[in-house]
Amino acid sequence: MAFGRLERTRPPQPMADINMTPLIDVMLVLLVIFMITAPLMASSLKLDLPKAEGASPGDNPVFLSVAISIDGQLHLDDEQVNDAQLTLRARQASQQDPNTEVQLRADEKVPYGRVAELIGLLQDAGLSHIGFITAGPPAKPAGTTAAP
């Protein structure tokens, strides 16, 4: 004597759909991680910029960011380049837009001769709008007031 049903039922069919929820969750977590770490990686080149009062960097949407590290190495947008590579990229930028601005960051211990060489190099490439980026005004000692 058999207990149970005599009719045979089909087993449930395997699900053919991919569950996207875990994939989306992982992607959103990665997005948040990249959003948090991207600003931290924006400028990995550490420079001791001179402190001076002056205008803020230009609002020109087309600019090249050039930096000279303390050992005299050139960096174009945080990528180390040599003089020939910088000249080539500057010439390309001046051909695309002659009003391209160069935002120059130089460590305060870099000799003036090296900065002058770089300015000459940029001017020979056709870029004449050069702005010097500084760290901001120097801190005033406590108890001193500005002269009128």
Summarize pLDDT for 55-110 with one digit per residue, the tens. 555 555 678 889 898 888 898 887 889 989 988 998 998 899 888 888 888 888 88
The reply to whether 121 falls in a domain is: yes
The reply to whether 1 falls in a domain is: no
Q: Which helix (H) or strand (E) holds 17?
A: none
Structural domain total, the chain = 1
Reply yes or no on whether the pLDDT at 16 is more than 70.
yes
Structural domain boundaries enclosing 111: 63-132
The reply to whether 51 falls in a domain is: no
The reply to whether 76 falls in a domain is: yes
- The rounded distance, in Å, linking the Cα atoms of 124 and 94 is 10
pTM of this prediction?
0.54
The reply to whether 42 falls in a domain is: no
Greater confidence, 137 or 36?
Answer: 36
The residue type found at 148 is: P
The reply to whether 88 falls in a domain is: yes
- The rounded distance, in Å, linking the Cα atoms of 23 and 32 is 14
